[in-house]
Structure 1
């Protein structure tokens, strides 16, 4: 008789356990957000921000870590002041630094200015850009080169996003080296 009770109890428990099972939707979800996540529309308004529409912006006048603001503005007067007053903060340029500067110059500058700084890069030879001057014809200063590499001038675009401040000073030193060799 005891075995009959055990069999009936086992049948009742198994019936109870399987009767609530739905193959379309599982009964128990350990992490329901993984199966039924909250849908967010891209670029939609959000209550996470103060005004509900746009993201939070940095505080007025804040400066990112490791960034030094440029001393001279992107104006003709700023360029003239940089040519006269701006000096490299690098103590000295080693041969390793000049090798790196040569690589950077080859990547970013030589396509227009030429490997020797003669104004005959591949884009000039193919007449994509005209009027790129030779460094020998220009009166160049370290600060002026840095300012032009940072902000761009005429048809030349800015390289501020591609080169760090130290790399721009290294390229300026390399350009002066090329000018002395012309």
Structure 2
């Protein structure tokens, strides 16, 4: 019986070894993974017309996106300053959350007190950040929101970092800082 098992094992090993052919390549189950085409990082588009599955449906709006109807221009800024009011009432204002967001996104330049003396200004990396209580600076909730949404001068837009509700919380906190500086 033992000799029969030995013979059977030897036969199986011989069959397995005899099927291997070093001169012929092995079978490729997914040839695209072995022989993929190389593309330059910033070269021409891989799919010049786009792949239908990658393109959004025409006229669609991304989930969570709320369009802002005021344009990014000086006239739009003045219109926002004159007409735009916060949709959140005083019971929904969360100054603690507004302070957290302000410290994360705004305090580095504008300073934690809104006096224009943030870390980047103190280190002279950015210059010319005015204080919220400067005499020639009549800011209100509409102008602050417009500036957060589109940016102004050297300040970039924070529309991608803050959603609409968070932007209004920051606006409320900036108005609080302005009031504190004017005391």
Structure 1 length as normaliser, TM-score? 0.75
Aligned-pair Cα RMSD in Å:
3.5
Residue 83 of structure 2 corresponds to residue 85 of structure 1: yes
| Distance change (3 Å), C-alpha of 1:114 and 1:36 | closer
- Matched with 1:166 is 165
- Matched with 1:49 is none
* Shift, 1:164, TM fit: 1.3
Tell me, in whole angstroms, the C-alpha distance in 2 between the residues paired with 1:110 and 1:141.
Answer: 18
- Matched with 1:55 is 50
| Distance change (3 Å), C-alpha of 1:45 and 1:179 | closer
Question: Is the CA contact (8 Å cut-off) linking 1:111 and 1:121 kept in structure 2?
Answer: yes
Runs of 4+ residues over 3 Å off in structure 1: 13-20, 23-29, 34-38, 40-46, 91-95
* Shift, 1:101, TM fit: 1.0
Matches within 5 A, 1:98-109: 98-109=95-106
Q: What do the CA deviations read for 1:64-103 (whole angstroms, capped 9, x no partner)?
A: 12211112111111111111111122233557x2111101
| Distance change (3 Å), C-alpha of 1:33 and 1:108 | same
| Distance change (3 Å), C-alpha of 1:64 and 1:35 | closer
Query: Per the alignment, in what secondary structure is the counterpart of residue 136 of structure 1?
Result: coil
| Distance change (3 Å), C-alpha of 1:15 and 1:129 | closer
Specify the structure having the higher radius of gyration (Cα): 1
Tell me, in whole angstroms, the C-alpha distance in 1 between the residues paired with 2:116 and 2:70.
Answer: 27
Residue 144 of structure 2 corresponds to residue 132 of structure 1: no
Tell me, in whole angstroms, the C-alpha distance in 2 between the residues paired with 1:45 and 1:136.
Answer: 49
Question: Is the CA contact (8 Å cut-off) linking 1:72 and 1:78 kept in structure 2?
Answer: yes
Question: Is the CA contact (8 Å cut-off) linking 1:149 and 1:168 kept in structure 2?
Answer: yes
Residue 16 of structure 2 corresponds to residue 22 of structure 1: no
Tell me, in whole angstroms, the C-alpha distance in 2 between the residues paired with 1:92 and 1:26.
Answer: 77
Matches within 5 A, 1:135-154: 135-137=132-134, 138-154=137-153
Structure 1 stretches of 5 or more lacking a match? Answer: 1-5, 47-51
